[in-house]
Chain A
Amino acid sequence: MLTYVARRIIQAIPVVFLIAVVSFFLMQQAPGGPQLAFNQNHHITTAQIDSWLKSWCLERDPGVVGTIREFAGWLGVWNCTGGGLLSAHGLPNFLPAALGGGTNGLLHGDFGFSIASGQPVLSEILNRVPATLILMGVSWVIWVTMAILIGVLAAVKRYSVWDQATTFFSYIFYSLPTFWLGLILIFIFGVALRWFPVQGIVDTRAAPAPFATDAYWAALAKDPIPNLFDIGRHLVLPVITLVAVSIAADSRFVRSAMLDSLSQDYVRTARAKGAVERSVIFRHAFRNALLPILTNVALELAFLFSGAIVTETVFTWPGMGRLYFDAVNARDYFLVMGILFIGSILVVIMNLVADVLYAWADPRIRY
């Protein structure tokens, strides 16, 4: 098992590297750059912009070689402060700092700084992760629970009215554009009925401090009930949106996994030996159907981090999807790369976890 995990991790490295290269190159090809932020400022000189860019290891108009150099700087192979491939100690820059390598770049655990805010990329991300995890986590728990209930019931009562109705509605919800569903919900429950707030994660006038600041967490710990209630109210509409569009695929998946399991020999054996139907369904069929469901659901976990760009935009939710979108718009190169990189690492990890989970839960599989 350990060799298997190790082999998978080693295989994943070139894939992640390739994704990083392609993303970086595409990002560089996009017109404009972070220096565009200075266009409004008439007092800034070209020389100032250039020295500012240089301090970020960027170039104004990098050719292919320049882009490779920038990428190498982000990765930590290139020493941006002069010295090229060598660190200040005259040794290869990619070595760990303790062995005389450089300190910049991903290889040294440095994601760089957000160009727009000047904050370290990691702290920008950590700032946004709570909101995204709250939104995506709550939605995920609800849609997985509901998908399992709906799917199992549809499989057990195959071709029944329930089965056909859930099939029909899952196709409908699956086909709705997320943002449109969000807009309709905003209009009905936010504008017309005024039941739920339509933007943000907390009520900015009532909140003790801006969300995700230390002061906010302190206030939340001291006075949890009204603050959690406030977040809960803001959660309702975006969670409904996310659950509605995500539940279809999962409930269909659960249904077919359960149907597959119900047609197996061990289910027939269980029935033949006279087990009650409830026990056949839950102890024999469902427990086996849980295997593929578990792996599928584990894969979804990786995407919780990245958030939902559209839902977060519609409801102005201060999460990762929104952070990524704004960073792309501002050509905030290091922030974009940081988010993409952590996202793809998580996908690789959750893929691995799903496979290991499967092998652990299914005694027939051996690596």
Chain B
Amino acid sequence: MTSRDDPAPPGSTVFVTGQGTMPVDIAAPADVAAADVEVALESLGQWQLAWRRFKRHRMALFGLAFLAFAVLVAIIGPIVWPYDPLIIPGVSGTNPGGDSPSLAHLMGTDNNGRDVLQMVVNGARISMTIGITSMLIAGFVGITVGTLAGYFGGWVDNVLMRVVDTFFAIPLLFVILVAAAFFGEGKVISLVLIFGLLSWPLIARLIRAQFLSLREVDFVEAARAVGVSDLRIAFRDILPNAIGPIIVAMTLIMANNIILEAFVSYLNFGISADQISWGNALAQSQNYLVFGNWWWAFFPGIAIALTVIAINFIGDGLRDALDPRTRL
């Protein structure tokens, strides 16, 4: 049983073929079902099977579409949308908290008259950069450390796991302050590095756990018997089998780090005010809520929320898709 149980839709059953379990949907017309089996018998690769399972997860598909859209916005949006985030035109209406949404400013403006839609579009760049890059760093460090600890065990494992324990307890705010001394205050690069370096322990632990169970499996024994080197076994034989939970954990890390950016920017520990991220786009909005300017807080926040929801649904879909025990 997976942690988030298999969502086998009622009405599907399992048809056992020579290459393991092949699912057939009995609710579908018989000829379609037969075609499915034929396709299946052409020996689908692991990734093709995963993609077929993923496609069944409707929310995950929505998530994927939304994330693709958000990345697209992050890339071309700032070029297309005609407002410069660094120009401060001032408020044209009487509301000191900004102008309400209109045709010229679809999402209204902030207290300096800056277009909120422009902040959302520009913020997508920084938030996506932080989310994706820190995820990759966490994945790289976590996979390396977890693989070393899991494969070699013994004192290597002991030392590395104590390092992991300590990393779990490091207070985030200090790390940000210290990094500010090295990189300058509120730099994207420092948040990317910090979030990446604080989130790898999760992956390292996951991989280590996978290794502990896979180390004694027959195909690893076989590889060792024919004289394959330790590192090659670790990276070529064991790691691919552990990749499913890692990819899921990486989506969670990406979602988490996008929220984390918003969180530290809200506390004035994050991205500096001369750059636009989703977090600092709405960081100052609270002071002006009393003037009724909901749009300033609402739109950047909903951008964060939708993106994170999309990523979490993708992760949920991947969890089912990459688990070989899940049936189609």
Chain A residues proximal to chain B, CB less than 8 Å: 15, 18-19, 22-23, 26-27, 29-31, 158-159, 168, 171-172, 174-180, 183-184, 186-187, 190-192, 252, 256, 259-260, 263, 309-310, 313-314, 325, 328, 340, 344
Contact = CB atoms under 8 A, between A and B. Distances in A.
Q: Which residue, B171, B173, B266, B285, has most C-beta atoms of chain A within 10 A?
A: B171
A177 B304 contact: yes
9 contacts: A15-B169, A22-B166, A26-B170, A29-B174, A30-B174, A171-B313, A177-B308, A180-B301, A187-B298
A194 B297 CA distance: 18
Contacts of B304: 177, 180
Interface stretch (B36-44, B75-83, B109-117, B177-185): B177-185
A265 to B, nearest CB: 15
B166 A30 contact: no
A250 B202 CA distance: 19
A175 B285 CA distance: 21
Interface string B235-267: 000000000000000000001000100110011
Contacts of B3: 256
* A contacts with B: majority SS: helix
Contact of A186 (B175, B177, B181, B286): B286
Contact of A191 (B7, B178, B262, B292): B292
A15 B287 CA distance: 41
Contacts of A256: 3-5
A29 B173 CA distance: 12
Minimum-distance CB pairs A-B, first 4: A180-B301, A30-B177, A26-B174, A175-B308
Contacts of A19: 166, 169
A116 B73 CA distance: 46
A314 B180 contact: no
B31 to A, nearest CB: 28
Given A31-B181, A177-B301, 14 more contacts: A159-B10, A172-B309, A178-B263, A180-B282, A180-B297, A183-B286, A183-B289, A184-B294, A184-B298, A187-B298, A256-B4, A259-B5, A263-B1, A313-B267
A174 B312 contact: yes
Interface residues of B, number: 43
Of B1, B166, B177, the most chain A CB neighbours within 10 A belong to: B177
Contacts of B1: 259-260, 263
Interface SS of B by simple majority: helix
Contacts of A263: 1
B126 to A, nearest CB: 15
Contact of B171 (A171, A175, A183, A340): A340
Contacts of B305: 175-177, 180
Contacts of A191: 289-290, 292
A15 B263 contact: no
Nearest to A180: B301
Interface in B259-311: 259, 262-263, 266-267, 282, 285-286, 289-290, 292, 294, 297-298, 301, 304-305, 308-309
B221 interface: no
Contacts of B267: 309-310, 313, 325
B59 interface: yes
B230 interface: no
A19 B169 CA distance: 7
B297 A31 contact: no
B301 A23 contact: no
Given A22-B169, A328-B177, A175 B309 contact: yes
B316 interface: yes
Nearest to A339: B171
A22 B167 CA distance: 10
A2 B193 CA distance: 44
Contacts of A27: 174
Given A31-B180, A313-B267, A22 B255 contact: no
Given A175-B309, A180-B297, A183-B282, A168 B59 contact: yes
A30 B181 contact: yes
Interface string B135-150: 0000000000000000
B249 to A, nearest CB: 15
A263 B298 CA distance: 44
Contacts of B178: 26, 29-30
Nearest to A314: B286
A175 B292 CA distance: 25
Nearest to A155: B5
